[in-house]
Structure 1
Amino acid sequence: MPEPSRSKELPVSLLTDPVMIEACQARDFGRVFQMVKTRAGIYPSMIARRCDLTPSRVGEVIDGRRQLLHMDVIERISDGLRIPGHMLGLARRTWETPQNLTVTPHEPTEAASSADAQLAAGLPGTDVDSILALAAERDLSPSTLNALHSSIADYWRRDDEHGGETLRPAVVGQLRYVIGLLKEERSSPMRDGLHGIAAELARLTGWTYFDACQYHQARAYFTEALGLAKAVDDHQFMANVLACMSLQATYQDKPGDALALVAAAQDQARAAAGTTTRVLSMLAMREAFAHATLGNRGATHTAISEAHTYFGRIRTDDPDPAWVTYFDETKLVVDTGIAHGRLGEAALAEPLIADALRREHATNHRGRAFHAFWLARTQLQRGKLDEACHTAMEALVPAAAISSQRVAGHLREFYEQLEPFRREPAAVAFESRLREVLPRQVSGSPRP
């Protein structure tokens, strides 16, 4: 596809418009195309030619009848319309010419507004990433891989604390950057390392979409992660990705798929040399979730028992992969409680979830909110209305601190279960606190 000329680049005022920025972050191409048409005079037929799309497809996107989700299409839009990669969650595009280190002064042809001058400072080519890219060597070292792994660990920490929605553009950009590095000739150890990093970034991206309940996009990235891990025969990581997909299937009310996916995960783990008992314990617990969603009481209890047996065999010197270290004793206990809760065994679930919640790290806002709503639901099932409302009330603060549609979904489920008790003082107090802390959940509707 021929590159559009520089004279047809989008105006600075459009690229820095908050509405355009928001539309790009959300990948709402209907709004993007409409703004490009009205603000830059680039009509749908021209958009189609630039982005290698059919005019009818562009029209469907503008009318809201079609979404564009595939990465190759998003990259074509970025390149065709000259939308900087970072605005769409992509790596820096090759056409984003770095600024020269020496600047030739010139007389401005027309005076720019002070606002435009300030906003232009944030355009591609003048940001720190672009400057660093100029100085960066393409020869990678083990320390480079270590730095990338460290950034992934930081992403996961921030995901627990704040949610992944705001992180996603940076994660996707880094993923595409690593994919780009894989296109160059590398030594086998370096290539394997990059494949592993790319697989982790793809799984993290899928997880952020899963947590946002955007299941189609999540599955696409999980599948990409699976392929990247398969390319280097990393069966343990393939098992990890399949386990994530199994958990998503439970949320989509597809328990049969959940069971099939976790069975495939366990097959991959058995095929891997040196799979650790912590990994096997985590997979057994995911199997318990699948059986519990199906209502298979005996199979759920068997899988829970296997998870605890494997966990009891963990040794301090086991070579656990970094991605499974989150599965500690607290996680084992709370997941056991949740598995019993999914079966409706509230009396078994309540003390386990309560115990784990007391141990939960204060900065893990999603975990604290998520598990507190599970505890409140089990308490309500046991007729403990006052305790349930108190627990749910305490969950509102961490829920407000994180962007997670999964957590919001558990809040809605608890709120709906309160319906028979709506006039009770404890329920009234909870709803009052809910309106105070999370007004968006209840504004305009009696339900969140």
Structure 2
Amino acid sequence: MPEPSRSQELPVSLLTDPVMIEACRTRDFGRVFRLVKARAGIYPSMIARRCDLTPSRVGEVIAGRRQLLHMDVVERISDGLRIPGQMLGLARRSWETPPSLTTKPREPAEAPASAVESLGAGLPGADVDSILVLAAEHDLSLSTLDALHSSIADYWRRDDEHGGETLRPAVVGQLRYVVGLLKEQRPAPLRTGLHGIAAELARLTGWTYFDARQYSQARAYFTESLGLARAIDDRQFMANVLACMSLQATYEDKPGDALALVTAAQDQAREAAGTTPRVLAMLAMREAFAHAALGDRGATHTAISEAHGQFGRISTGDPDPGWVAYFDEPKLIVDTGIAHGRLGEAALAEPLIADALRREHRTNHRGRAFHAFWLARIQLQRGKLDEACHTAMDALAPAAAVSSQRVGSHLREFYEQLEPFRREPAAVAFESRLRETLPRQVSGSPRP
């Protein structure tokens, strides 16, 4: 294949354009080729030559009469147009690392665990591998692990405040770094610590994809996280990952899967030494969500009671893992309200969610928006149109501050439920504010 010259490389402005990113993610090559022609001046005949395709085939793709599905063709397009592999769901291409950054391989180390091998094989991310190899030359110490734990805590805080979309490249880059460290022979305590950190970074990456409603990618990273935790027999963390997967299954309208996953999570937690009441309370609440999605009122109420009972057993000195610290009393209360709301028990749900919102931290933009839209929908179910619209208007500012497809979907659900009341003054006022604050959410919706 002819080597593209420097002048033929795609402009950075195109590679970072959200339209191009989405076209690559979905492998919509008709749109990719049109963008390349319009923005980079690479015409169909040149695309064909660089990607080893026939001009007629490229023309059919642009016209929408043919799709390109074979992996070898996708790889040729990536290499021919210099589209980074991660944009097309591929492993890093050989040309992505500048020659000046290549390093000599180290002496052979112990074989990596299977979870590490599978994770390192196909990770997306920026061009950082060779730089991180250089960084890894330094001796690893417990202080390095402490620094990595601190960065993870900071990522979660920023995820609550702004969403995970912009964080993801940094998180994946750090995940690459830790996976690289795991390929070296380490003392047992350091190796165990690195496995735990890699598991948490993989879970966080999965969470950012879940919040973006990219469920297949989320599931892949959650599965990698599970494998990393299993490698060090961290059953509490395995329970945590399974609970995340259970929550995702409720969003995918797979309540049976949700219940099976949270049941497996509880089994892992019970087998773990020293599982704390806070962890068990969180898992019981996820079980309540699964039963509510199934419409099983009795089982939902039993799981809620179990969650509150476990929460009442929490003591100040409990050795809670850091990842469960978010499950505080306001979170217990709001989740209880949501479980009742899923069952249609609006009278029980409303005061609980309202109380939790009053106590929720102001910087948790996603949580506040998410829970406010839940409250607005429940108030609407109870016939409280004015209150529902007022609650939803209060949610618009935090919704605008965070990048979260999940929050957007709850906003759209509330907006659709307003349809019968669209001409009422409160609904008109809400829609006006919505169009000012988040115009994209209603750009395709008809005006009343």
The TM-score with structure 1 as length reference comes to 0.80
Per the alignment, do residues 60 and 169 of structure 1 end up closer, same or farther by CA in structure 2, a change over 3 Å counting?
A: farther
Deviates more, 1:328-337 or 1:156-165: 156-165
395-404 or 12-21: bigger deviation: 12-21
For the Cα contact (< 8 Å) 1:346–1:382, is it kept in 2?
A: yes
After superposition, the Cα gap between the structure-2 partners of 1:226 and 1:347, relative to the gap in structure 1 and judged at 3 Å, is same
Shift of 1:383: 1.2
Residues 32-68 of structure 1: per-residue CA shift (max 9 Å, x gap)? 677499649975686589xxxxxx9xx9899784679
Identify the residue that residue 210 of structure 2 maps to in structure 1: 210
Matched, 1:8 2:3: yes
Q: Deviations over 1:118-153 (max 9, x none)?
A: xxxxxx99x9x9878646534311111111121111
Once residues 10 and 149 of structure 2 are traced to their aligned partners in structure 1, the CA distance between those partners, rounded to angstroms, is 32
Aligned to 2:98: 96
Q: Which amino acid aligns with 2:188?
A: S
| Matched residue SS, 1:427 | helix
Matched, 1:243 2:243: yes
**Counterpart mapping for 1:115-134 below 5 A:** 134=134
Contact 2:346 2:381 in 1 (8 A): yes
Q: Does 1:396 align with 2:391?
A: no
Alpha carbons 1:259, 1:287 under 8 Å: kept:
yes
1:96 alignment partner AA: P
Q: How far apart, in 1, do the equivalents of 2:297 and 2:62 lie?
A: 46
Name the aligned partner's letter for residue 18 of structure 1.
S
Per-residue deviation at 1:79? 8.2
How far, CA to CA, are the matches of 1:83 and 1:416 in structure 2? 39
Pair 185,42 (structure 1): closer, same or farther in 2 beyond 3 Å: farther
* Residue aligning to 2:16: 21
Q: Is this contact kept in 2: 1:91–1:174, CA < 8 A?
A: no
The answer for the alignment partner of 1:254 in structure 2 is 254
Partners of 2:164 and 2:403 within 8 A in 1: yes
Q: What is the Cα deviation at residue 95 of structure 1?
A: 3.7
Superposition map of 1:178-189 within 5 A: 178-189=178-189
Counterparts in 2 of 1:12 and 1:297: CA distance versus 1, 3 Å: farther
CA distance in 1, matches of 2:33, 2:195: 34
Note the 1:34-45 alignment, pairs <5 A. Answer: 35=36, 39=42, 43=47
Residue 271 and residue 75 in structure 1: after superposition, are their counterparts in 2 closer, same or farther (change >3 A)?
farther
The match for 2:370 is 370
Q: CA deviation at 1:84?
A: 6.4
Alpha-carbon distance between aligned partners in 1 of 2:10 and 2:337, rounded to the nearest angstrom: 49
Q: Is the 8 A contact 1:182 1:191 kept in 2?
A: yes
The CA distance in 1 between the partners of 2:98 and 2:232, in whole Å, is 32
Q: Deviations over 1:88-127 (max 9, x none)?
A: 8989989434469xxxxxxxxxxxxxxxxxxxxxxx99x9
What is the deviation of 1:173?
2.2
* Aligned counterpart, 1:338: 338
Q: Which amino acid aligns with 2:275?
A: T
**1:395 shift after superposition:** 0.5
Q: Which amino acid aligns with 1:281?
A: A
User: Structure 1 residues 191, 33: CA separation in 2 closer, same or farther (over 3 Å shift)?
Assistant: farther
Q: Is the 8 A contact 1:200 1:225 kept in 2?
A: yes
Number of the residue aligned with 2:415? 415
What aligned pairs does 1:25-424 form with structure 2 within 5 A after superposition? Answer: 26=22, 27-28=24-25, 29=27, 30=29, 35=36, 39=42, 43=47, 47=51, 65=67, 95-98=97-100, 134=134, 137-424=137-424
Normalised TM-score (structure 2): 0.80
Contact 2:209 2:217 in 1 (8 A): yes
2-structure distance, mates of 1:60, 1:187: 54
Q: Distance in 1 between matches of 2:265 and 2:213?
A: 22
CA contact (8 A) 1:262 1:283 kept: yes
Distance 1:230 1:45, change over 3 A: farther
Native 8 Å contact 2:133 2:180 kept in 1: no
Q: CA deviation at 1:237?
A: 0.9
Mapped to 1, the partners of 2:379 and 2:135 lie a distance apart of 58
Q: Please report how far the alpha carbon of residue 181 of structure 1 lies from its aligned counterpart in structure 2 after TM superposition.
A: 2.1
Query: Partner of 2:16: helix, strand, or coil?
Result: helix
8 Å Cα contact 1:289-1:339 kept in structure 2: yes
Partners of 2:316 and 2:210 in 1: CA distance: 32
Is the contact between residue 25 and residue 169 of structure 1 (CA under 8 Å) also seen in structure 2?
no
Shift of 1:421: 1.4
| Alignment map for 1:409-448 (pairs within 5 Å) | 409-446=409-446
Letter in 1 for 2:14: V
Q: How far apart, CA to CA, are the structure 2 residues paired with 1:216 and 1:348? A: 34
CA distance, structure 2, for counterparts of residue 253 and residue 366 of structure 1: 22
**What letter matches 1:315 in structure 2?**
S
CA distance in 2, matches of 1:175, 1:165: 16
The 8 Å contact of residues 380 and 388 in structure 1, kept in 2 or not, is answered as yes
